[in-house]
Structure 1
């Protein structure tokens, strides 16, 4: 499945004043050959640096004129371009969509892989090769895991000169802290099962601490439950034994008395309402009596006033008109007539007084009758009030002294029976808990004494592993490697055996060929089985370790010429579905140069390109 992965299009150092050092690559096989000390190995360091390796490049004098490093990568399927930029001083990463010479917004990415921040260079590159969210085992004893980083991929696909000739496994970096994770990555590639479902195992001291804590917790619970059980048994011993069968009969009695209580409470409420109504009527009548008595007083006062006027009028009517006793003069005519008129008016006044007096007497009589009627009603109300108060008193006495004591007694019996049953159930629960906790304590004590047996790792899938071994063997056979007949993977060394001989036991030239066959065979195996992996491989000096300026290598460093030629020719075909960059002192055959992207570093400015920078 060729839609995953990326290849490098170009690498370019840029600096102030237009300083520029660029190297172009293509899909397939790319060869940079030439003399030593021309910057070939620095190409691998540059690529590794742009794929997240290190915080800074080593301080070469030639780097001082550059401040930024760019690398254009493209996807295999649709040739979509991305440009990675890295600040040479600070090491910060920036990525933009498009080629180096295209305009575009640069987005900052973290240089280090992180489980919490997905915007980092590792996650970006893993996404391009389809290996995001893979977890590796980092400890065989604890089964601790970590997220796959692109550095785990780069470690086996960017092979520098030192590692190329190393006796160490192609999978291992030599760091004991990462050995388990490096093996776990190979196991994933072969089995296609990562460590996401692996259950983490505790360290022995943590396990013992955890078990001790559990044992102490169980002991504390046992102690508390036993103390509560003793208290419950004492309480049950003090309670008068009651039968649960009596509960139904007592409940019926309780319901009957409670119903009677409710009826009496309703009667009492009605009596209280009646009393309130009677008291309201009496209060209303008393207010009427007060008003009518006040009105009666007004009538009495009016009658007294009329009697006073009438008496005065009678006295005036008895007076006689005579001549002046002093001078003997008679009253004048007009005065006499006036007096006569007054006498007439006096008679009229007497009539009016009598009439008014009669009216007031009638009203007074009616009012007194009304007062008597109201007093009569009040007397009836007072008798009813007394009866109602007696009824309320009787009901209160019945409720408080007869019904409620019975209800309280029945309720107490019900609570005692229920409480007794609850105590019995609680006792049974505590006994069960004590039994379970005692069992837990025994099991925990036994588990604490046991020594944990470390589980053996699952064996690699033999079928898929066999296919990988076949790929490596066919590569070595195609390269005419010492008439090889058999290649097997040795899990103990995480390396291959060639005709039952450890790869690390060969001389350094053959070790390098075996190293190349291992990783190229792995890439071929994964590609043919539609498994996701990087399609970029950089090999530094797979054929020779050192070559002086444009001179042939010494005989002691040479491997057979036929092997060298077949190595290059075979990689032309192998690299059609990937990108392989060879950094080599030796020149490839002419027919290979015509089929590859080829650079020659001569270390001589007069002959082609002198070097990288």
Structure 2
């Protein structure tokens, strides 16, 4: 359930019995003879909602020191707002009470502030689902203000004069400057759509004031600089001499910078040459590594060939020695021995 419901309004004091007014669900009408407190009750409700700063002064409230307003805040349940007769901030207690509170209270500021969530206005508007709505006050410039309980309360607490007035119920205040605000507020209540999307532009008066403020700020800065120059005034000849020295030093410094830059350029050129030479040496070293690997393989082949030649030489010597003799082992004739030697030499070659 969205919305709030008033439950009771009570006044308490240390030396007097509480004065209490109970409310029922729906529309409540307070009626009676003149000077019986009807308007005061309306003002007291507005006072407890944070819509007004203080209560009207009269002799009847002097014995009392506190006001209690029981409310139901939508789905959050029942609460009681407490506020001193003298005004100031409020306390929000859980449950419906009219004196001797129990439980931890939440302190709420009575004055509405934009983006503040610790105010009575915010808590009540949140229960209504209207805590983040904006209303245009000036149709020409699009000037907006955030909806507050002070603006909305006139539709919740309606006095006798407003009921009897001949003007439109939309324009409750009767003030021409508030006409646009009240029309847009009534539109919000009917449609649920606020004016947050409206673009605000400065008025001519605001632009002139802003320009005048900037000019005044510049004048103040110039005046301050003038005072500093007067306090630190120097002889013109001395200033020109210092300027000449600065220019001479600047010329020398520029020449030194050019010399240093030329040296840096030379070092950069030498570094590029060294890098290129290093790259060339690295490439040459890689080629030499490949060549050495090839020589190592050739050395291995050469050694193998030498071993084969030695075997052939030994075989030839054996052949020459056995050419005309029988085999000393088996007694085979020289022709058989020669054939066997040639086979052995062929095996060695392989």
Please list the CA deviations of residues 124-177 of structure 1 after superposition, one character each: whole Å capped at 9, or x if unmatched. 110111111000001111101110001221112211112222233322212333
Give 1:210 shift: 9.5
TM-score normalized by the length of structure 2: 0.56
Q: Number of aligned residue pairs: give it.
A: 219
1:68/1:191 CA distance change after superposition, 3 Å: same
Number of the residue aligned with 2:158 = 159
The secondary structure found in structure 2 opposite 1:124 is: helix
Higher mean C-alpha deviation, range 10-19 or range 165-174: 165-174
Number of the residue aligned with 1:9 = 7
User: Distance between the aligned counterparts of 1:264 and 1:7, measured in 2?
Assistant: 88
Listed as ranges, the gaps of 5+ residues in structure 2 are 212-268, 282-350
Give 1:29 shift: 4.4
Number of the residue aligned with 1:104 = 103
Q: How does 1:33-44 map to 2 (within 5 A)?
A: 33-44=31-42
Give 1:121 shift: 0.9
User: Distance between the aligned counterparts of 1:117 and 1:32, measured in 2?
Assistant: 33
Number of the residue aligned with 1:197 = 197
User: Distance between the aligned counterparts of 1:183 and 1:203, measured in 2?
Assistant: 21
Bigger radius of gyration, 1 or 2? 1
The secondary structure found in structure 2 opposite 1:138 is: strand
Q: Is the 8 A contact 1:19 1:65 kept in 2?
A: no
Q: How does 1:294-305 map to 2 (within 5 A)?
A: none
User: Distance between the aligned counterparts of 1:188 and 1:23, measured in 2?
Assistant: 31
1:208/1:37 CA distance change after superposition, 3 Å: closer
The secondary structure found in structure 2 opposite 1:13 is: strand
Please list the CA deviations of residues 48-83 of structure 1 after superposition, one character each: whole Å capped at 9, or x if unmatched. 2211232211111110100000011124567x2110
The secondary structure found in structure 1 opposite 2:93 is: strand
Q: How does 1:230-241 map to 2 (within 5 A)?
A: none
The secondary structure found in structure 1 opposite 2:185 is: helix
Number of the residue aligned with 2:89 = 92
The secondary structure found in structure 2 opposite 1:164 is: helix
Q: Is the 8 A contact 2:142 2:199 kept in 1?
A: yes
Q: Is the 8 A contact 1:156 1:171 kept in 2?
A: no
The secondary structure found in structure 2 opposite 1:36 is: coil
The secondary structure found in structure 1 opposite 2:46 is: helix
Q: How does 1:462-481 map to 2 (within 5 A)?
A: none
1:170/1:103 CA distance change after superposition, 3 Å: same
The secondary structure found in structure 2 opposite 1:142 is: coil
1:49/1:90 CA distance change after superposition, 3 Å: closer
1:261/1:38 CA distance change after superposition, 3 Å: closer
> 2:157 matched to 1:122?
no
Give 1:30 shift: 3.7
Q: Is the 8 A contact 1:156 1:170 kept in 2?
A: no
User: Distance between the aligned counterparts of 2:272 and 2:4, measured in 1?
Assistant: 91
User: Distance between the aligned counterparts of 1:264 and 1:35, measured in 2?
Assistant: 109
User: Distance between the aligned counterparts of 2:123 and 2:208, measured in 1?
Assistant: 42
Q: Is the 8 A contact 2:4 2:128 kept in 1?
A: yes
User: Distance between the aligned counterparts of 1:97 and 1:170, measured in 2?
Assistant: 35
TM-score normalized by the length of structure 1: 0.33
Q: How does 1:38-437 map to 2 (within 5 A)?
A: 38-75=36-73, 80-100=77-97, 103-172=102-171, 173-204=173-204, 262=273, 266=277
Listed as ranges, the gaps of 5+ residues in structure 1 are 212-257, 271-613
1:18/1:198 CA distance change after superposition, 3 Å: same
Aligned with residue 28 of structure 1, among 26, 29, 52: 26
User: Distance between the aligned counterparts of 2:160 and 2:6, measured in 1?
Assistant: 20
User: Distance between the aligned counterparts of 2:168 and 2:102, measured in 1?
Assistant: 44
User: Distance between the aligned counterparts of 1:25 and 1:70, measured in 2?
Assistant: 13
The secondary structure found in structure 2 opposite 1:57 is: coil
Q: Is the 8 A contact 1:19 1:66 kept in 2?
A: no
- Considering Cα pairs closer than 8 Å and 6+ residues apart, tell me whether 1 or 2 has the greater RCO: 1
Give 1:22 shift: 0.7
Q: How does 1:511-590 map to 2 (within 5 A)?
A: none
User: Distance between the aligned counterparts of 1:86 and 1:167, measured in 2?
Assistant: 35
Number of the residue aligned with 1:289 = none
Q: Is the 8 A contact 1:11 1:24 kept in 2?
A: yes
Give 1:263 shift: 5.8
Q: Is the 8 A contact 1:98 1:104 kept in 2?
A: no
User: Distance between the aligned counterparts of 2:205 and 2:18, measured in 1?
Assistant: 58
1:15/1:134 CA distance change after superposition, 3 Å: same
